[in-house]
Chain A
Amino acid sequence: MSAMTLRMPRHFISDHPLPWLLPLIAILVVFALYPFFYNIWLSAHEFIPRRRALEFVGFGNWLKLFADPRMWNALWVTLFYTGVCLAIEVILGMVIALLIDSDDPGFGILRGLLTLTLVIPPAITGMMFLLMEDAQFGLIAAILSDIGLIAPQTAILAEPSLALWGVVLADVWQWTPFMVLIFVAGLRALPTDPYESAMIDGASVWQIFCRITLPMMGKVIAIAVLIRGIDLFRMFDYVFVMTSGGPGTATYTLSLYAWQQTFSFVKWGYGATISLFALFIVLLVANLFLSLTKVRW
């Protein structure tokens, strides 16, 4: 007992979580919290080139934001892109996951091959698709025109109605495997009993999928959608290297618009305001999603 009491102070110190968490808290405060408040401060100011100084504008940037048609266009492009990519990647991902969820020889290799797209820098993926979607030398453009989907010699990324789909293609290629791998892991963890009784009852394959697989995969799908959705909403790399937002404003995402306003057009305060707006939307939607799906970390 006396030995225990002697050791008490040391226990007390190392049993408290604070010393363990201190480095993490420090880096989060300096590199996440401080920039966040700095960003709020920045959004209340604007750089005036004539006087070469930041001036206080109050809510001016926010009023400008809500009246800016290009911002609303960027928000729409971002939401459209996020929605389309999520839908394609989830459905295609599920189909491929069901296809390759097998213990037959060779399927392990297939799952390994599918991980490769995930580690390619998205900027380089963008460049790959830029070349493949080139009107003259592009392989994808040639294939698409061969099967009659687009006219020959179409510059996919320069066509206002097609450009965003050209970017979607790169995204779907790179990130559908992300869904596949998560779904395969989810499928492998499912219990087999419900399937056996369903087959004894003579349920069809489609019925089994809708009534057993989907409900039991709910949490897995929710997590995959959340993580992918967050990344899609802040997409920057592909449009930066593939289209720079063009043609016109057809592929401007919120992230790209904010970045360009700050660094290309020297609207430091306005760019900060747009980036804050994007941050608020993502936090709001993600929180809503978390509380609706009851996903917990």
Chain B
Amino acid sequence: MLLSPWQRILRIGVAWAVVSAFAFPIVYWLTVAFKPDRDIFSVPPRVFGFQPTLQSFEEVFGISLGFEHGLEVLPGGGNFYMLPRLWDSIVVALFSTALAVVIATLAAYPLSRMRFRGQHHFVFWVLSTRMMPPVAVAIPMFFIYKNFGLLDTYTGVILIHALMNMPLAVLLLKSFFDDIPVEIDEAALIDGASRFKIFRKIVLPMAMGGIAATAVLCFIFSWTEFLFVLTLTQTSLKTVPVVSSTFVTSTGTAWGNMAALGAAAMVPAFVFILLVQKNLVRGLTLGSLKQ
């Protein structure tokens, strides 16, 4: 569409206004993390013009507790020392991502390169696990985990997060493998290379960018997941989203601490998401739309 210079300027102005409106709650939340209680609870509410303090961060990161207190965490949240919870989040997200990406890479190769009976149904089965309401998995899984002693363990949460990310990882990686010309495989096959060798030596290196993008998305979805962790853990681990919801205490909600923890959880995710801009839409649509 051809726009006059004035229309272009108007468009730029409106676009910035709209995006600022979407960015505003994040900015506000970050200011809450630096506000003393008196400024969080000002009436009428104010966004800027406060006395910045690091107290919320110090409590969340255990700086104000001293070293000897830093290592003991009271279950049920006697304090706001959250480094162990950030650690839980990192461990769960890293290991579940690794597991999901390895299994999905192996599975995506034949789905992209081979033709077999029932292939369409198989892909659909994978896709349909993406449709399952998490609660319909979490309820039976609670009892299954209880029987197998996996409740409240890293292994249990890592496995369920890997499952949760499996449809995304498989379908997305399949779409990345589809981008690599199949003639390369065929030429190597004629030269006598085995499928696995082709996979390892040719396809994997060529798909590295796609695999990295898949891993980033799996990491983010594990990082932000709520229902499974809420249901399948009790005291020995909790990820950041779940523990944030427990900051509501009998004396009121610790908004400052919650915002500080939220900020600490958001910033790495922001960095990650900016790294995968190129493949983001493909990832969000499970590989069905290419940018």
* Interface of A toward B, CB cutoff 8 Å: 3-4, 7, 10-11, 14-15, 17, 20-21, 23-24, 27-28, 31-32, 34-36, 38-39, 42, 96, 99-100, 102, 104, 106-107, 110-124, 126-132, 136-139, 142, 173, 176-178, 181-182, 184-186, 188-189, 195, 199, 205, 220, 223-224, 227, 230, 233-234, 236-237, 240-241, 254-255, 258-259, 262-263, 268, 271-272, 275-276, 278-279, 282-283, 286, 295-297
Determine whether B265 belongs to the interface, using a CB cutoff of 8 Å to chain A.
yes
Give 5 A-B contacts (CB < 8 Å), ordered by A residue.
Answer: A11-B194, A17-B116, A27-B159, A139-B45, A182-B281
Asked if B289 and A104 make an inter-chain contact with CB atoms under 8 angstroms apart, the answer reads: no
Determine whether B266 belongs to the interface, using a CB cutoff of 8 Å to chain A.
yes
Asked if B134 and A124 make an inter-chain contact with CB atoms under 8 angstroms apart, the answer reads: no
Name A124's closest neighbour in chain B (CB-CB): B262
Asked if A7 and B137 make an inter-chain contact with CB atoms under 8 angstroms apart, the answer reads: no
Q: Determine how close the nearest CB of chain B comes to the CB of A84; give it in whole angstroms.
A: 19
Asked if B43 and A136 make an inter-chain contact with CB atoms under 8 angstroms apart, the answer reads: yes
B16-33 interface code vs A (CB 8 A; 1 in, 0 out): 101100110110110010
Asked if B134 and A278 make an inter-chain contact with CB atoms under 8 angstroms apart, the answer reads: no
Having A21-B111, A132-B28, one finds 12 other A-B pairs with CB under 8 Å, namely A27-B166, A119-B220, A124-B265, A137-B45, A142-B44, A185-B281, A230-B131, A236-B226, A262-B142, A275-B133, A282-B132, A297-B127
Determine whether B280 belongs to the interface, using a CB cutoff of 8 Å to chain A.
yes
Determine whether B270 belongs to the interface, using a CB cutoff of 8 Å to chain A.
yes
Q: Determine how close the nearest CB of chain B comes to the CB of A184; give it in whole angstroms.
A: 8
Listed residue (A106, A137, A184, A240) with the most chain B CB atoms within 10 angstroms of its CB:
A137
B187-201 at interface with A (beta carbon < 8 Å): 192, 194-196
Selected from B133, B192, B240, B253, the residue in CB contact (under 8 A) with A282 is: B133
B232-291 at interface with A (beta carbon < 8 Å): 240-242, 244-245, 247, 253, 255, 258, 262, 265-266, 269-270, 272-274, 277, 280-281, 284-289, 291
Given A11-B195, A262-B139, A272-B140, the answer on whether A138 and B284 have CB atoms closer than 8 Å is no
Which of B51-59, B71-79, B100-108 makes up part of the contact surface? B100-108
Q: Determine how close the nearest CB of chain A comes to the CB of B83; give it in whole angstroms.
A: 17
What separation, in Å, do the CA atoms of A259 and B45 have in the docked complex? 35
Asked if A96 and B242 make an inter-chain contact with CB atoms under 8 angstroms apart, the answer reads: no
Asked if A34 and B265 make an inter-chain contact with CB atoms under 8 angstroms apart, the answer reads: no
Selected from A23, A39, A195, the residue in CB contact (under 8 A) with B107 is: A23
B2-47 at interface with A (beta carbon < 8 Å): 2, 8, 11-12, 14-16, 18-19, 22-23, 25-26, 28-29, 32, 40-45, 47
What separation, in Å, do the CA atoms of A126 and B110 have in the docked complex? 41
Residues of A within 8 A of B280 (CB): 115, 181
Listed residue (B122, B133, B255, B258) with the most chain A CB atoms within 10 angstroms of its CB:
B133
Determine whether B184 belongs to the interface, using a CB cutoff of 8 Å to chain A.
no
B132-163 interface code vs A (CB 8 A; 1 in, 0 out): 11111111111110000000000000011011
What separation, in Å, do the CA atoms of A39 and B142 have in the docked complex? 11
Selected from B132, B227, B247, B281, the residue in CB contact (under 8 A) with A32 is: B132
Residues of B within 8 A of A262 (CB): 139, 142
Asked if B144 and A119 make an inter-chain contact with CB atoms under 8 angstroms apart, the answer reads: no
Asked if B277 and A123 make an inter-chain contact with CB atoms under 8 angstroms apart, the answer reads: no
Q: Determine how close the nearest CB of chain B comes to the CB of A280; give it in whole angstroms.
A: 9
What separation, in Å, do the CA atoms of A98 and B266 have in the docked complex? 28
Asked if A123 and B195 make an inter-chain contact with CB atoms under 8 angstroms apart, the answer reads: no
Asked if B129 and A223 make an inter-chain contact with CB atoms under 8 angstroms apart, the answer reads: no
Given A17-B114, A124-B262, A295-B288, the answer on whether A119 and B133 have CB atoms closer than 8 Å is no
Q: Determine how close the nearest CB of chain B comes to the CB of A100; give it in whole angstroms.
A: 5
What separation, in Å, do the CA atoms of A208 and B144 have in the docked complex? 56
Name A152's closest neighbour in chain B (CB-CB): B44
B83-135 at interface with A (beta carbon < 8 Å): 102-104, 106-107, 109-111, 114, 116, 119, 122-135
What separation, in Å, do the CA atoms of A255 and B133 have in the docked complex? 7
Given A234-B133, A275-B133, the answer on whether A28 and B125 have CB atoms closer than 8 Å is yes
What separation, in Å, do the CA atoms of A282 and B138 have in the docked complex? 16
Q: Determine how close the nearest CB of chain A comes to the CB of B280; give it in whole angstroms.
A: 6
What separation, in Å, do the CA atoms of A7 and B197 have in the docked complex? 13
What separation, in Å, do the CA atoms of A116 and B14 have in the docked complex? 19
Asked if B12 and A106 make an inter-chain contact with CB atoms under 8 angstroms apart, the answer reads: yes
Asked if A128 and B25 make an inter-chain contact with CB atoms under 8 angstroms apart, the answer reads: yes
Q: Determine how close the nearest CB of chain A comes to the CB of B99; give it in whole angstroms.
A: 8
What separation, in Å, do the CA atoms of A38 and B143 have in the docked complex? 9
Asked if B226 and A24 make an inter-chain contact with CB atoms under 8 angstroms apart, the answer reads: no
Residues of B within 8 A of A116 (CB): 23, 26, 270, 273
Name A42's closest neighbour in chain B (CB-CB): B140
What separation, in Å, do the CA atoms of A71 and B261 have in the docked complex? 36
